[in-house]
Structure 1
Amino acid sequence: MSIVCGVFPRPEQLEMDRLLKDASRIWREQYEAQPQEPPMKLWYLAHPVRGDDVATFDENLKHALKMQKILWEAGFEVINPWYASVIIYGAGEGEVLKRAIEFDCAVIERCDGFILTGHKLSSGMDIELKSAIDHSKVVVNLIGLPDALMQELAMMYSDL
């Protein structure tokens, strides 16, 4: 004599499973038939951080956020991950700075483009720029551009 143990689905459960599979298949077919928007292009924002004879540390941070806002409003999906590191660690020295720059370069590798802003090319921006070039990123140089013209020029580049 054999004993069989198990849970067997009721007929209504089998019907429900079939309906769910059909609904999932229909949804997937409809979704795949729709035109898909191109993926978002992600841009890395570079800006001087350390203070100098033109702008203080705080002025540079404030200006970087202003540039991010202008570029965002012009249609760029802009990130500046270095900003959080600077808020936590300051301008950074030695190993902290080295680690931050390495992180920035890893982020740049994953971005579609690289935008230079601010009043000069800082030493950190130079390292980041070399990383962008090494990874064949589109580079937009807005260094030294007066803020009053930034929105207009950013709109010209926004289709890159």
Structure 2
Amino acid sequence: MEQVRASGRRGRDETEEERADRRFGDLLQELRVAQTGVQILFGFLLTVAFQPRFTELSGTDRTIYTVTVLLGAATTGVLVGPVSFHRMLTGRRLKPQTVAWASRLTMLGLVLLLCTMGSALLLILRVVVDDAHAAWLVGGMVAWFVLCWFVLPVWTRAKERAKELPTEGPERRPEH
């Protein structure tokens, strides 16, 4: 539970190591969700090339497929990266640094997942509907992912930071 410390700062009363342990545990839970989705998507993508209709795809669709598979592989790699970081640095008293790098890799993984999803949707929708509609539908879905995954969290963080700013004091004059 968040509390106000004697220093007046909000937050938990925990050491740097305790905070790193908590943040890493939270991050691992988040990665489990992302990794499961990526693994299912990547597994599906790998089977597409072995379907009888794959040979009927246009050159453009084959290029989109190739890019999508590479993006899926890159996404898988970067989302597994925090596990490797943890395993290779365990016991070296580098937990805060491990958490920082794992967090960066996870954000990169989300960006790559966004690209993978957009590319996979483009491939599928080009087969299902005409090219013009596919582009608009994919654009709409990518915008939706950006809103859900990036805009709303950043907006919420900014909104909460604004609440924490002093309303009066030398930095801000009261409004009349």
Higher share of residues assigned helix: 2
Larger radius of gyration: 1
The structure, 1 or 2, with the larger RCO (C-alpha pairs under 8 Å, 6+ apart) is: 1
Q: What TM-score do the two structures reach when normalised by structure 1?
A: 0.30
Q: What TM-score do the two structures reach when normalised by structure 2?
A: 0.28
